[in-house]
Structure 1
Amino acid sequence: MEQMFITPIRSLDSIGDIGAAKKAVSGQDGGSAFSDIFKEAVQNVKTTEADLNKQQYLLATGQIDDAHTVPAAAAKAQLSVELLSALRNKALEAYTEIIRISI
C-alpha cells in the first residue's frame, strides 16, 4: 500500500515573489502593489491605443508595407481594454464582498 504524506503548510511571506517584483506584499506595500497593477493596465491601454492610431495613420497615408499590422494592433488594443475592464469588475466584486462580510 502506498503511503500518503501531507505536505506542511508554508508561511505566506513568500507570496510577494510573484513576477519580477520580488517584494513582500504586506501592509502599505500591498496597497501599493494593487495600485501598480491598475496603473500598469491603464498605461497598457494608452500604449496600445497610441500604437493603433499610429498604424491607422500609416495605413491611411500609404506609408505601411503590410496591412495586417493594423488588425493586429486593433486586437491588442481591444484585449488591453477588456483586461482593464475585467480587473475593475473583479476589484468591485471583491469590494462588495468585503462590505457584505463586515455588516
Structure 2
Amino acid sequence: MEQMFIRPIIPMESIGNIGSEKKVTTGQDGSSVFRDIFKEAIQNVKTTDEDLTVQEYLLSTGQIDDAHTVPAAAAKAQLSVELLTSLRNKALESYNEIIRIGV
C-alpha cells in the first residue's frame, strides 16, 4: 500500500500552557510567548498548505487511491488559516482596547 502523506495538525502547546502557568510573564518573556504562539500558528498554516498541495498533485496525477483525503487536507488548511486570522484579530482587538484605556 502507498505511504500516506497526511500529517496530523500539531496541537499548539504554548496556548494550552499559558493558563496553567502561575507566573506572570512580562517584558521579553511575555513577548517571546506571544511570538511563539504566532510562529506556531504560521508554521501550522505552512504545513497544512504543503500537505494540501501534495494531495492535490497526487490526485491530479492519479496516484491517490482515496479521493476523500484531498477535501480533508483542504479543510485542515482552511481551519489553520482561520485560526491564524482569529489570533490576529484578537491581538488587534486587545491592542486597540489597551490603547483606548490608556488615553
TM-score (norm 1): 0.77
Question: What's the RMSD between the two structures over aligned residues?
Answer: 2.2
User: How many aligned positions are there?
Assistant: 87
Q: Which has the larger radius of gyration?
A: 1
Question: Paired residue for 1:26?
Answer: 25
After TM superposition, give the deviation of residue 79 of structure 1 in Å.
0.2
Identity of aligned residues (%): 73
Question: Paired residue for 1:53?
Answer: 53
The residue type equivalent to 1:74 in the other structure is A
Show CA shifts across 1:16-39 (max 9, x none).
Answer: x827xx795522111100000000
Q: Which consecutive segments of 4 or more residues in structure 1 shift more than 2 A? A: 22-25
Contact 1:55 1:69 in 2 (8 A): yes
TM-score (norm 2): 0.77
| SS, match of residue 18 in structure 1 | helix
Stretches of structure 1 that go unaligned for 5 or more consecutive residues are 1-16
